[in-house]
Amino acid sequence: MSWWDWFRPRPPQPKMRVAFFNALPYPAQVRLEAPEADTTLATESNGRCGPFVFPVSMTTANLFVLDEDFLEGAPGYQWYGEVVDIPPAPLYDDGNPKSMEWWVTPIDPAYPRPLPDTWYQFPKLLVPVGLPTLVPEGSHFRQVDGGRWTGIEASSFQAYQKFLTGQDLTACFSQLRDLGFNTIRVFGMCRNLFSLDPTAFPDFYTKLPAFVRFAARYGLRTDFVVFPDCALVMPDPDQQHLHWGLVGHALFPVASSVLVSLQNEVDQPPNKIDYTKFNTLPGLLCSRGSWGAAGKDVVPHMDWTELHTNNAYQWPRKVGHNTWELGGVGMATENTRPDRDGTLHHFYDAAAGAALLCAGSCFHSIPGRTSDVLTGYDLECANEWVMGSELVPLDCQDGPYRHRADLEGPNAGATGERVYQRGNDSRCIVRIRP
């Protein structure tokens, strides 16, 4: 060792390191937890989060990704939490650790491998539950990336009221997800079936995005009906228009996971509203709602249309065909309940016809009105509804409509039997049985 080595400045020996989280694909809270450090930070507009400052001696930590409301799991993704090994700090020539930034990034197949030693990849990136933005196209919704979609909806009228009052929806939403439903129809006010008055909840608007994200974690898109029972709950037109705008503002950040319906059955006295005075909410897919069972169209159309067939004559054929006849993108959003129809195959056939001809359909039930778990015959019919919806290959959506009367029985008109087809592909044939 030369005399100069005794006087040469040595680099400072670091005591702390810094971690950053790189380009998370969703608004989130990130928590890094260890005995030596426990910090939660929000992602910035660029998706990055940090810095987290922690001792250089820290070798492991608990990593949690929460949604922006500090609930467990990022919006639209499965819950994420794991123990991570912190990459060792690079060393100076004399063996002492350098103070280096530690970057953490989601797995991205397009990112070149290997990553630098000071980067850490999530080994189990959250799995998206599949709520891409929808765009109207022909008689169906199409995903913004071009992927195909059909609405497999279930009534869950009381879900938002239960969410606001702190009731547990886990069992209900888990069951709907496991059955194969991808959308829930939710009431935003109510007086007859249960009590939900937006003015009675100071957090009604602020909690709407959290509710939508909560449903999205179960793969469920929210079809939010804004004004059921409005003549009883909110009769003042000025208040109605203010409410419509506030709902739109609240739902805009979660627009990809939402369909908006102005009204439920506008011809029913409790639902009376001047639906012609409302405009589409910016950035949201809106419908003016429906008439009563198999009633007339609610015009002028917004982005999509609705039809109700509950208790209508020959309702299984009307779910798909009459909704398609409305023109544009239409969904049959309320249909005959199992307690009103004891023929199991009606539920299969109705859903299959809708999957072929229109943008989707809704399974309606008594438990669906109160957002409870399905049991017994309701559960059997729900299974049939999903199976019927999934019967039709989604690439059938582009084919032109054909009524295959040549495949029907001699009394088809009286029995309600129908055979529908799109294009010439035999896979794209649906029979509505007598």
pLDDT of residue 174 exceeding 60, the answer is: yes
Rounded to the nearest 10 degrees, the angle between the axes of helix 237-251 and helix 208-216 is 50
CA distance 201 to 164: 8
Q: What is the pLDDT of residue 113?
A: 47
Residues of the chain above pLDDT 90, percent: 64
- Clarify whether residues 193 and 233 are in a common domain: yes
State how beta strands 119-121 and 183-187 pair.
unpaired
- Clarify whether residues 101 and 201 are in a common domain: no
Q: Which of 74, 95, 121 is the last residue of a domain?
A: 121
Which range of residues forms the domain containing residue 266?
Answer: 134-432
End-to-end C-alpha distance for the chain, whole angstroms? 99
- Clarify whether residues 47 and 70 are in a common domain: yes
DSSP 8-state secondary structure symbol assigned to residue 269: G
- Clarify whether residues 102 and 142 are in a common domain: no
Say if 311 falls within a structural domain.
yes
- Clarify whether residues 258 and 171 are in a common domain: yes
The strand pairing partners of 52, in sequence order, are 19
pTM, two decimals, is 0.75
Q: What is the pLDDT of residue 357?
A: 97
Mind listing the pLDDT tens digit for each residue in 17-63?
777 766 665 667 888 888 888 888 887 766 677 788 888 778 888 88
Average pLDDT over residues 134-146: 93
- Clarify whether residues 372 and 316 are in a common domain: yes
Residue 110 pLDDT class (50, 70, 90 cuts): very low
Task: Record the tokens describing residue 319, joined without a space.
Answer: 């779910």
Mapping DSSP to helix (H, G, I), strand (E, B) and coil, where does residue 29 land?
Answer: strand
Mind listing the pLDDT tens digit for each residue in 241-273?
999 999 999 998 888 899 999 999 999 999 999
Q: How many structural domains are present in the chain? A: 2
Task: Record the tokens describing residue 274, joined without a space.
Answer: 């001047």
CA distance 330 to 141: 9
- Clarify whether residues 163 and 33 are in a common domain: no
Mind listing the pLDDT tens digit for each residue in 200-254?
999 999 999 889 988 987 889 999 999 999 999 999 999 999 999 999 999 988 8
CA proximity to 292, closest of 232, 329, 334, 330: 334
Say if 236 falls within a structural domain.
yes
Q: What is the pLDDT of residue 49?
A: 78
- Clarify whether residues 201 and 232 are in a common domain: yes
CATH of the domain at 385: 3.20.20.80
117: left (phi over 0), alpha (psi -120 to 50) or beta: alpha
- Clarify whether residues 66 and 190 are in a common domain: no
Residues 6 or more apart in contact with residue 263 via CB below 8 angstroms: 225, 226, 227, 228, 230, 271, 273, 275, 288, 289, 290, 298
What is the DSSP annotation of 344-397?
Answer: HHHHHHHHHHHHHHSSEEEE--HHHHHT----HHHHHHHHHHHHHHHHS-GGGG
Q: Which of 121, 156, 186 is the last residue of a domain?
A: 121
- Clarify whether residues 218 and 180 are in a common domain: yes
CATH of the domain at 42: 2.60.40
State which amino acid sits at residue 178.
D
- Clarify whether residues 115 and 181 are in a common domain: no
- Clarify whether residues 208 and 168 are in a common domain: yes
Q: Which of 90, 121, 152 is the last residue of a domain?
A: 121
Q: What is the pLDDT of residue 46?
A: 65
